[in-house]
Amino acid sequence: MKNRPYVFITGATKGIGRALAQRFALEGAHLALSARTPKDLEALKAGLLKGGATGEVHLFPADLSQKAEAVALAAAVSAAFPHLDVLVNNAGLFRPGQVLGEAEEAMEQMLAVNLLAPYYLSRGLLPRMRRGSHLFNVASVAGREGYVGKGSYGVSKAALLSLTNTLRHELREAGVRVTAVLPGPTWSASWEGADLPAQRLLQASEVAASIWQAWAMPPNAVIEEIVIRPQLGDL
């Protein structure tokens, strides 16, 4: 384990973000955690401390669909930590639908959270990241392949993948590693009640473990993409 990294995770109270916060907390990291609901953040912090977290845990409620809040969040995290070792842009918005049938505002809503928030947070926080630090952008296999029913969501995640690839080239000489994470269908509360065998969905802890393993690589090596699916394939 590297010496107590400073880690910032968005979308930290559910799914992949929560599992990742738990993993880094167990390893002694100092954490900055963001989500929309203060009550959920407080519950997460209590659980982390009860589970043995020994690093600092800072909470930052924010609505990342709003540019002003994303920009303010970057400034607040910068003020809380002397530098940043790991930035995980994990917060996301999914509204099912097809491009020709979804609500007209769907594209703007999903671009705001899935692309523009990571853009503003990266611009605000990457200057605080040193050689050997790591940026993770959680995209989706839907951003690589078009799926019926994922309309603007897939488009927004494809744009995030492009942003990630661009940042990787821009930051290479600075020694900042950049990884795109492309999970397949992953269990969350939205899947409750679905008549699916457990093996058809990834567990959030499995995706979090893959991110942890990429971070734990020596700083002269980078896993540029993590594509992780259920062994039986996408739904």
> What is the full per-residue pLDDT of the chain (235 aa) written as tens digits?
458 999 999 999 999 999 999 999 999 999 999 999 999 999 999 999 999 999 999 999 999 999 999 999 999 999 999 999 999 999 999 888 898 888 989 999 999 999 999 999 999 999 999 999 999 999 999 899 878 878 899 999 999 999 999 999 999 999 999 999 999 888 876 666 677 777 888 999 999 999 999 999 999 999 999 999 998 888 7
Q: Which long-range contacts (CB under 8 A, 24 or more apart) does 165-171 make?
A: 167/122, 167/126, 167/135, 168/222, 168/224, 171/126, 171/135
Structural domain tally of the chain?
A: 1
Confirm whether 235 is domain-assigned: no
Residue 233 lies in a domain: no
Residue 172 confidence (pLDDT): 97
List CB contacts of 228: < 8 A, sequence separation 6 or more.
181, 182, 183, 184, 202, 206, 207, 210
153 counts as catalytic: yes
Q: State the pTM of this model.
A: 0.94
- The answer to whether residue 234 is domain-embedded is no
pLDDT (0 to 100) of residue 190: 63
Token digits of residue 216: 């734990």
Domain that holds residue 209: 6-228
CATH number at residue 11: 3.40.50.720
How is residue 68 written in tokens? 């002003």
143 and 152 Cβ atoms separated by less than 8 Å: no
Q: List the structure tokens of 225.
A: 């993409």
Residue 125 CA, distance from chain mean position? 14
| DSSP SS3 for 169 | helix
- In a domain, residue 137? The reply is yes
The answer as to whether 80 is a domain residue is yes
**How far is the C-alpha of 68 from the C-alpha of 117, rounded, in Å?**
10
